[in-house]
Structure formats: structure tokens, C-alpha cells
Amino acid sequence: MTPDEARAILESTLREIVPDASLASLGGDEDLRQTLELDSLDFVELVERLSKRAGFRIEDDDADELRTPDSATAFLVKGAGSLR
């Protein structure tokens, strides 16, 4: 998975969970929970959907890796690469 593919997966998943969010102005180092006002259930849903789309299990311990768009993108690329 390329970084562009990972970012697309992240953005499409976020649009499902927070349809009104303005992702175009979302900075790479902004905290997703704070910026998009994700509550705990929203974030769990994000993790589950990303896990299904990326094709590998994202554990609870990995949640900090999904804090920002840049870190989430890097995590998805790295995780998908470990499947090879």
C-alpha cells in the first residue's frame, strides 16, 4: 500500500464516520479526535473500519499510531507492508 492509498482509505473512512468534516483543511499533524470531535465510540469505529479496509488487525495498543493523519497513514503503510 502506498502512502496515497493509505491516506485515501483514511479519508474515506473518516467521511463515513464524520460526513460533515472538512478534510481538505485537515493538517497532517492535527489530532483527529480533537479536530473532528471524535468520541470514544467514533474512534473505535474508525479503528475497526480501517482494520477491515487495510486487511490487517489493528490492536487497541496501536490507537496512538492513529492519532494524526500523517501517523495513521504511515501506520497503515507499515502494517500493509508486513503482510507481504
- Identify the architecture of domain 3-81 in CATH: Orthogonal Bundle (1.10)
For the stretch 27-48, what's the b/e string if a residue is b when 16 or more beta carbons lie within 10 angstroms of its beta carbon?
eeeeebbebbebeeebbeebbe
Say yes or no to pLDDT of 43 above 90. yes
- Predicted local distance difference test score (pLDDT) of residue 82: 74
pTM over 0.85: yes
Q: Please report, for the chain, the start and end positions of each structural domain, with discontinuous segments joined by +.
A: 3-81
Average pLDDT over the chain, rounded to an integer: 92
| pLDDT confidence band for 60 (50 / 70 / 90) | confident
- Predicted local distance difference test score (pLDDT) of residue 79: 87
Q: What is the mean pLDDT of residues 53-80?
A: 92
Q: Which of 20-29, 57-66, 69-78 has the highest mean pLDDT?
A: 69-78
DSSP string, 50-76: HHHHHTSPPPGGGGGGGSSHHHHHHHH
